[in-house]
Amino acid sequence: MKNVLYIVDDHNMVRNGLKMWLEKYTEWKAPHDFSNGEDCLKFLEQLSPEHSDFPEIMIIDVQLIGETGFKLAKDINTKFPQIKIVMYSMYDTAGFVLQAKDSGAKAYVSKIANEEELAKCLEIVQSGGTYLEEHMIQTQNKISSVVNILSKQEKNIFEAILQGKTNSQICEEFFLSERTVANYTSRLYAKINVKDREELIEKYSK
């Protein structure tokens, strides 16, 4: 319903702080909040979209205990496409922003942003727009110019490198062998014209 949102964050103080500020200083109400994606999805599945507590927007932390907010965002977009997603995170690097877009999020706001910026973001998303903080826009425009030439797996590895993940972490996340990751990485470097990981990060993180 109008001006109703949910918050999903595994830090109780963050959820309570956001809820208190939004309900005191804006027209938004946060009748329900969750520490994990499973509880959130279970609740939504038993709630009618016509219910007064059904949310317009979900504010989801990128990193939840034992899972990622990106997976939850994808699940919500699949099951409840009418709900708009705002990713909210302590990470503001380019790889996380890119993965949020791939997950169907309409906005990405860092936790170092002030409350007024979050309120502005919610207003824009509610009106059907998308939102990034000013310092993220130029980098994302640069990234957008290359991601269309990448295969799905190359794009996954591109995002992971920009998130600071090692090859071993990439192998574990995508269930790939070290040799396969090395091959994809070499092709990725060739396509975007960089010689190594350090040059990639330097070129596409600023």
Q: What is the pLDDT of residues 141-186, one digit of tens each?
A: 888 878 889 998 999 999 999 988 999 999 998 999 999 999 999 9
The pLDDT score that the predictor gives to residue 206 is 65
Instruction: Pull the structure tokens for residue 198.
Output: 């350090």
Please report, rounded to a whole number, the percentage of residues in the chain having pLDDT higher than 70. Answer: 100
Helix (H, G, I), strand (E, B) or coil at 131: strand
β-pair type (84-89, 57-61): parallel
Backbone angles phi, psi at 85, to 5 degrees: -105, 130
pTM above 0.85, yes or no: no
Going by pLDDT thresholds of 50, 70 and 90, the confidence category of residue 40 is very high
Confidence band for 139, pLDDT divided at 50, 70 and 90: confident
- What pLDDT is attached to residue 18? 94
Token duo for residue 67: 């899972």
pLDDT at 54 over 70: yes
d(CA 172, CA 193): 26
